[in-house]
Chain A
């Protein structure tokens, strides 16, 4: 398939290219599975440090720029809420084309109301403000790198943000024994795509900074597909019948860090939010 994609010399190749272009958009039509690095057993070698670009972490739905994540009514037009006004332009939301297939998350009415309330109360409700674990799939497109450790017997992802991590089990240990922020993940290969089923979530993690959310019943199916030595297509399908009217999918490219000194740094933000969370309990008097 791969060579047909690059230089379609026949009708079949053109059809394949056309289907790919429709399914993935022109950005991803460069898929060249023969070019990607492979492990000794022939699997795509995804080892390395990866990161999403773009503005999905602000809002995964298509959105135009807005003055702040949390707005309140103003005398003329809505204005940034008091808690965020000091950030000025740095606190403004940049525009984004979104990563949601079809553009809109198919919320049930009650869940949409929660999303809107989340947005109105962003600074007190977004778990990431408090340095809580990011959940899945949000961890993938946070503005931080993550590193994949892939061996013949293991597939482990560690995220720079909050030191979050996931051991993607290659053998299914059975249903999750407990709910957790990052959930339980089980992976398998479908051709050159690494497919991960993640569930067992607490339902507390958000999907972005704009209040998008899911419940503890969320089931995420992720698909990791290398499209070049330095690019990976990330897709995640969300199923949660208590929150959404149907399954829906996000899709975005991931980029591999190639700089010599690339590394996952230590970002234990817990200590950075102590003033936020505990400052009110400091001793102030004699």
Chain B
């Protein structure tokens, strides 16, 4: 199923659901056992379209074990399916008008109807890694939770908050979230790390050549170019969006190291100039790449952390997420705030 959807705040975008996940043509050994597909260079073939949408949250909910029972996993998937069915029902034409003053994220599931299940693709399955249904994508630290921030990171975040605090929430485009500005996806779709956004368009295209791996995230049509050959690294002061990625093969595993992150690309709110993300891509069967990531930033986190995310093959197309071209919302958000200020100022003069 392919659907047209709108992005955050009614920005035009095109979306795709994770329905129809199928295995591409595969090499089968005479015994019927799966054989690693390989490129002409002999490397594991990671190419194709993939989705990392999942019902497994990033962090482990309190009281859960790392590995769910299959009964628990099925209950989660069944619960989600029932929500999708319920919210896919036709709208009541006699419903009352939306309440005034509704704001994100309240409007998501409210009567305003700004997002319904036609728009979203939050995932339908619990993440299964090594045959285990997982309760969290984070696998280390062992509690499946983010490690604590260092005192230095806390001080830095305090400074960051103080700086932002001098502006009102809707004063300038630069104080709005990156996704609302159509600069990057919400959460960390293109990453690195490439983490599901639990919303929509968790889809990727991978193309491999002898000296590059190209990963296109459907969100914001972001392209990561990973260099596999020796070359000049970016100097420390050049910090592009998505950083500077270099890869190499360790057997059949593609290992990618990324540094030089953009100062505003602060996944989960924190990142220092020393942030390094290490990713490992392993084709584990015809339908799955196991994606593993490690966040190494001793300035920010008390210990390294990371996780495992299955990326599942899909044979649907990805579509152009022309977010900026249809971004009427940012104008409306800012001009709406100015209008409100004018109205309030006129009111105070009465």
Q: Which residues of B contact A270 (CB under 8 A)?
A: 181-183, 324
Smallest Cβ-Cβ distance to B25: which chain A residue = A153
Q: Which residues of B contact A127 (CB under 8 A)?
A: 325
Contact A282–B334 (Cβ < 8 Å): yes
Smallest Cβ-Cβ distance to B239: which chain A residue = A266
Interface with A: B54-62, B68-76, B118-126, B313-321, which one?
Answer: B313-321
Does B212 belong to the interface (CB within 8 Å)? Answer: yes
Does B241 belong to the interface (CB within 8 Å)? Answer: yes
Within 8 A of A (CB), among B65-93: none
Q: In whole angstroms, how far apart are the Cα atoms of A177 and B50 in the complex?
A: 20
Does A167 belong to the interface (CB within 8 Å)? Answer: yes
The interface bits of chain B over 1-34 (1 if a CB of A lies within 8 angstroms of the residue's CB, else 0) are 0101000000000100000000000000000000
Does A2 belong to the interface (CB within 8 Å)? Answer: no
User: What is the CB-to-nearest-CB distance from A56 to chain B, in angstroms, rounded to a whole number?
Assistant: 23
Contact B331–A132 (Cβ < 8 Å): no
Contact B216–A156 (Cβ < 8 Å): yes
Contact A156–B207 (Cβ < 8 Å): yes
Q: In whole angstroms, how far apart are the Cα atoms of A17 and B4 in the complex?
A: 51
The interface bits of chain B over 99-131 (1 if a CB of A lies within 8 angstroms of the residue's CB, else 0) are 000000000000000000000000000000000
Main secondary structure of the interface of A (DSSP, over half): loop
Does B279 belong to the interface (CB within 8 Å)? Answer: no
Smallest Cβ-Cβ distance to B336: which chain A residue = A281
Contact B231–A260 (Cβ < 8 Å): yes
Does B270 belong to the interface (CB within 8 Å)? Answer: no
Q: Which residues of B contact A173 (CB under 8 A)?
A: 317
Given contacts A156-B207, A180-B319, A260-B231, contact A283 B341 (CB under 8 A): yes
State how many residues of chain B have any CB contact under 8 Å with chain A.
Answer: 52
Q: Which residues of B contact A156 (CB under 8 A)?
A: 205, 207, 214, 216
Contact A266–B241 (Cβ < 8 Å): yes
Interface-central residue, B208, B212, B324, by most chain A CB under 10 Å: B324
Contact B231–A261 (Cβ < 8 Å): yes
The interface bits of chain A over 165-189 (1 if a CB of B lies within 8 angstroms of the residue's CB, else 0) are 1010000010001101110000000
Smallest Cβ-Cβ distance to B172: which chain A residue = A282
Q: Which residues of B contact A47 (CB under 8 A)?
A: 209-212
Contact B47–A151 (Cβ < 8 Å): yes
Does A147 belong to the interface (CB within 8 Å)? Answer: yes
Contact B232–A178 (Cβ < 8 Å): no
Within 8 A of A (CB), among B163-186: 167-168, 170-174, 181-183
Does A268 belong to the interface (CB within 8 Å)? Answer: yes
Given contacts A151-B207, A271-B181, A274-B174, contact A132 B324 (CB under 8 A): yes
Does A150 belong to the interface (CB within 8 Å)? Answer: yes
Does A163 belong to the interface (CB within 8 Å)? Answer: yes
Contact A151–B209 (Cβ < 8 Å): yes
Does A144 belong to the interface (CB within 8 Å)? Answer: no
The interface bits of chain B over 324-350 (1 if a CB of A lies within 8 angstroms of the residue's CB, else 0) are 110000110011011001000000000
Q: Which residues of B contact A149 (CB under 8 A)?
A: 207, 209, 212, 214
State how many residues of chain A have any CB contact under 8 Å with chain B.
Answer: 44
User: What is the CB-to-nearest-CB distance from A41 to chain B, in angstroms, rounded to a whole number?
Assistant: 8
Smallest Cβ-Cβ distance to A177: which chain B residue = B2
Does A263 belong to the interface (CB within 8 Å)? Answer: yes
- Of the residues A39, A163, A177, A266, contact of B40 by C-beta under 8 Å: A39
Q: Which residues of A contact B174 (CB under 8 A)?
A: 274
User: What is the CB-to-nearest-CB distance from B238 to chain A, in angstroms, rounded to a whole number?
Assistant: 9
Does B225 belong to the interface (CB within 8 Å)? Answer: yes
Contact B222–A163 (Cβ < 8 Å): yes
Given contacts A151-B39, A266-B240, contact A277 B216 (CB under 8 A): no
- Of the residues B39, B220, B225, B337, contact of A158 by C-beta under 8 Å: B225
Contact B331–A278 (Cβ < 8 Å): yes
Does A265 belong to the interface (CB within 8 Å)? Answer: yes
Does B195 belong to the interface (CB within 8 Å)? Answer: no
Q: Which residues of A contact B322 (CB under 8 A)?
A: 132-133, 180-181
Does A123 belong to the interface (CB within 8 Å)? Answer: no
The interface bits of chain A over 232-271 (1 if a CB of B lies within 8 angstroms of the residue's CB, else 0) are 0000000000000000000000000000110111101011
Q: In whole angstroms, how far apart are the Cα atoms of A96 and B225 in the complex?
A: 33
- Of the residues A131, A133, A158, A282, contact of B223 by C-beta under 8 Å: A158
User: What is the CB-to-nearest-CB distance from B246 to chain A, in angstroms, rounded to a whole number?
Assistant: 11
Contact A164–B337 (Cβ < 8 Å): no
Contact A180–B320 (Cβ < 8 Å): yes
Smallest Cβ-Cβ distance to B16: which chain A residue = A177
Given contacts A151-B39, A167-B205, contact A282 B171 (CB under 8 A): yes
Q: Which residues of B contact A283 (CB under 8 A)?
A: 167-168, 170-172, 337-338, 341
User: What is the CB-to-nearest-CB distance from B44 to chain A, in angstroms, rounded to a whole number?
Assistant: 13
Contact A132–B325 (Cβ < 8 Å): yes
Q: In whole angstroms, how far apart are the Cα atoms of A229 and B318 in the complex?
A: 32
Does A19 belong to the interface (CB within 8 Å)? Answer: no
Does B221 belong to the interface (CB within 8 Å)? Answer: yes
Does B242 belong to the interface (CB within 8 Å)? Answer: yes
- Of the residues B214, B319, B334, contact of A178 by C-beta under 8 Å: B319
Cβ contacts A to B, 29 pairs, < 8 Å: A41-B40, A47-B212, A132-B322, A149-B207, A150-B209, A151-B209, A152-B40, A154-B205, A156-B207, A158-B223, A163-B220, A173-B317, A177-B319, A182-B320, A261-B231, A264-B225, A266-B242, A268-B183, A270-B182, A270-B183, A274-B174, A274-B181, A281-B173, A281-B334, A281-B338, A282-B171, A283-B167, A283-B171, A283-B338
User: Which 10 pairs show the lowest CB-CB distances between chains A and B?
Assistant: A281-B334, A266-B240, A180-B320, A283-B171, A154-B207, A261-B232, A274-B173, A149-B207, A278-B173, A40-B40
Taking A151-B209, A282-B172 as given, write out 8 further A-B residue pairs in contact, using a Cβ cutoff of 8 Å, ordered by the A residue number: A40-B40, A133-B320, A154-B205, A158-B225, A163-B221, A177-B2, A181-B325, A283-B172
